[in-house]
Amino acid sequence: MQKYLIQGGSRLTGDIQVQGAKNSSLPILAAALVSTGESVLHNCPNLLDTEYAIKILEYLGCKCYREGGTVTVDTTSVTQCEVPDRLMREMRSSIIFLGAIASRCKKCRLSFPGGCEIGQRPIDLHLSALQQMGMQIEEDHGYLNCSVDKGFHGANILLSFPSVGATENIILAAVKAKGTTVITNAAREPEIVDLANYLNRCGAKISGAGEGTITIEGVETMQPCEYTIIPDRIVATTYLAGAAMTGGNIRLTGIDCRHLESILPVFEEAGCSVRRYNDAVSLSCNHKLSSVKLIRTMPYPGFPTDAQAPLMAMMSIAQGTTVFVENIFENRYKHAVELQRMGAHIKVEGRVAIVEGIRTLHSAEVNATDLRGGAALVLAALAAEGTTEVMNVHYVDRGYEQLERQLNLLGANISRISCGDQA
């Protein structure tokens, strides 16, 4: 196990290139299965989650190569149609392989996904939709035995909730299905658009991605392609929050400001100076942060649930009171307890968290319990007095590429050590 030692009090300043989006990389890696041959994916971040996705592809018989931010996936030979339990348990989004494997192999066997414990993420929407498209599913002692002997067929699917994962699984199943599939109340996230753009470049016929209704006309064959993954809007938000909390001045490059339209106004309301460019955004904050009245997480284009924890850390030192309402996951305030160990005044009641800003946080030993909560603790440590120890940093590694290195380049003082080692 490893931990961060973070000396607070340094301002984050400078320019930084934002990594590729984790939540685009994973479905696009899975999507490589629906074509036969070699796909070249640029801007694919080197994360624990992407490495587990690559391990799944390799277990299935694919050949994968990484060179820097480029991953090459050769799906010429797929010899397995099962994802072993040990790999399914490593990340919550592993269920995304179901639609892709079944499209390629006409069958799939996998267990229920694991990952961060941020609340229930039922896969009933995935399974119900795929059943409407012709999949037969049998549960077998924690495993799902799935088959589509005659291949997927088109269907009209109404999602009761705009689930990102379910929308992706349906798309992956539908691209080579017989007939046309229409998804109503589809997820609208930029990562959905990115997946559709990749698949369309491979020869799929997908329209409406980014809107509430997506139409997929099935095609017989698809060809692999070369594609560049979009930047990660949650990582961008994390860096912006770090600059705001430390009175810094940073410029993020390689970013699409359109993906941050629900987030940047929060920084402006908090008193930060934000400037938008074609492919960059800058933020400066040289005075005390102001509280934001209400931050309510919603499906895109609303405020993203993944940004809730970093912004809670930021609001913990803002002047005034901020109310958070978490509408996506029911158990996503675990970081609040750890922030309280650093002096934060946070009261949680169900899906509501009330944050009363204080002048400054103090150092403590804290535990990351999930990806975004771990990032929030890192941000709190940057702004705190003294040296903070953040344990279980493997959670942070799931979604942030060399976070300590990137923050140190901006002026932070972070070191990663093995637990039990001396600083």
Distance of alpha carbon 179 from alpha carbon 139, whole angstroms: 28
> Of the given ranges (83-97, 301-315, 355-369), which has the lowest mean pLDDT?
83-97
**Domain limits, the chain:** 2-19+231-418, 22-228
Residues 232-260 pLDDT 10s? 999 999 999 999 999 999 999 999 999 99
Is it the case that residue 115 has pLDDT exceeding 80? no
Average pLDDT in the 334-355 region?
Answer: 97
CB of 262 closer than 8 Å to CB of 150: no
Is 125 annotated to bind a ligand? Reply is: yes
- Is 121 within any annotated ligand binding site? yes
Give residue 119's pLDDT band: very low, low, confident or very high (50, 70, 90): very low
Give me the pLDDT at residue 294, please. Answer: 97
Burial class (CB in 10 A: 0-12, 13-18, 19+), 298: middle
pLDDT in tens, 352-402: 999 999 999 999 999 999 999 999 999 999 999 999 999 999 999 999 999
Higher pLDDT, 89 or 398: 398
Q: Residue 398 gets which letter from DSSP?
A: T
State in words which class domain 22-228 has: alpha beta
Mean pLDDT of the chain: 94
Query: CA 354 to CA 409: how far, in whole Å?
Result: 33
Spot the catalytic one: 44, 105, 116, 225: 116
CA angle (50, 261, 276) in 5-degree steps: 95
pLDDT of 421 reads 63
Neighbours of 301 (CB within 10 A): 14
Task: Give the pLDDT band (50/70/90) at residue 114.
Answer: low
Q: How far is CA 380 from each of CA 148, 218, 241, 313, rounded to the nearest angstrom?
A: 49, 48, 10, 6
Q: Which two tokens stand for residue 112?
A: 């229920």
Q: Find out whether 398 is annotated in a ligand binding site.
A: no
Percentage of the chain lying above the pLDDT 70 cut: 96
Q: Is the pLDDT of residue 118 over 50?
A: no
Active site residue 116: yes
CATH number of 2-19+231-418: 3.65.10.10
Give Cα separations from 20 to 180, 225, 375 (angstroms). 31, 18, 17
- How far is the C-alpha of 292 from the C-alpha of 29, rounded, in Å? 38
* Torsion sign across C-alpha atoms 30, 31, 33, 34: positive
The verdict on whether residue 397 carries a ligand-binding annotation is: no
